[in-house]
Amino acid sequence: MATTIPLNKFVLIAQELGSGASLIYSSSLDVASIILSTQVTNITANNQYISLKIQKSGSISYITLLKDGVVPPNESLNPLSGKLVLEKHDSLYMDTPNASSLHIVLSVLENAIN
């Protein structure tokens, strides 16, 4: 009998958000993911707003996790109070009205599934 060893991979995503909804992360074909931490930093001198939502595999609608959260000037916000599990083909989106105002860092643990 062959023994399978689960594949765990840590991924760090760092990017600047554009205006509108941005796809931040999507679980690939045979990977379930755990979002370990999310940090959103305002790099401007004005309040910035962010919404966070997920899209489940096969769905055309979104599940809102945070709506118009305020990120104060030169401050950071952790929009998730804990960890978030994404099944294969689920997607994480962030939405902000202003381009080049927010930086995000997302820490993800990907787990291969059969």
Q: Which residue has the higher pLDDT, 7 or 20?
A: 20
User: Does a structural domain hold residue 31?
Assistant: yes
> Considering its fold, how many domains does the chain have in total?
1
Which CATH number belongs to the domain containing residue 18 in this structure?
Answer: 2.60.120.340
Shortest CA distance to 107 belongs to which of 7, 16, 10, 17? Answer: 10
User: Does a structural domain hold residue 67?
Assistant: yes
Average pLDDT over residues 36-41: 95
Average pLDDT over residues 21-46: 91
* pLDDT for residue 5 is more than 60: no
pLDDT for res 66? 95
User: Does a structural domain hold residue 2?
Assistant: no
Own/partner pairs for 51-55, CB < 8 Å, 24+ apart? 51/94, 51/95, 51/96, 52/79, 52/80, 52/92, 52/93, 52/94, 52/95, 53/92, 53/93, 53/95, 54/84, 54/86, 54/90, 54/91, 54/92, 54/93, 55/90, 55/91, 55/93
Average pLDDT over residues 87-103: 94
Residue 13's domain spans which residues? 8-112
User: Does a structural domain hold residue 17?
Assistant: yes
62-75: pLDDT as tens digits: 999 999 999 999 99
- pTM, two decimals, is 0.85
